[in-house]
Structure 1
Amino acid sequence: MIVPKLKTNSGASKRFRKTAKSFKHYKSKRRHNLGHKDRKV
């Protein structure tokens, strides 16, 4: 039986970064359209 290869979750690849021991994640709501938003966001 041939099992299809699974693709990595592209949404997760944009949110997480692998380090030596674990995964780091970026803060949300900081991707685009930041010109009119408050700096605290």
Structure 2
Amino acid sequence: MPKLKSNRGAAKRFKRTPSGAVKCGASHRRHILTKKTTKRKRHLRSPQRIHPSDLRAARRMIPYC
């Protein structure tokens, strides 16, 4: 059985935690930041966990990460 290729776009965006969850960065932090509150921007800084419905697809894309 050959090694599986990981999806390179997903490998740059997602990291797997030791418990098996998948972390990702939050969206809405790139531009148009003046109208967003400081609290909202601060909460977007911390890594988010992927929704359980997307977890299976994300794990398949990054098999060894």
Q: Which has the higher helix share?
A: 2
Question: Based on CA coordinates, which of the two structures has the bigger radius of gyration?
Answer: 1
Query: Whose relative contact order is higher, 1 or 2, with alpha carbons under 8 Å and at least 6 apart?
Result: 2
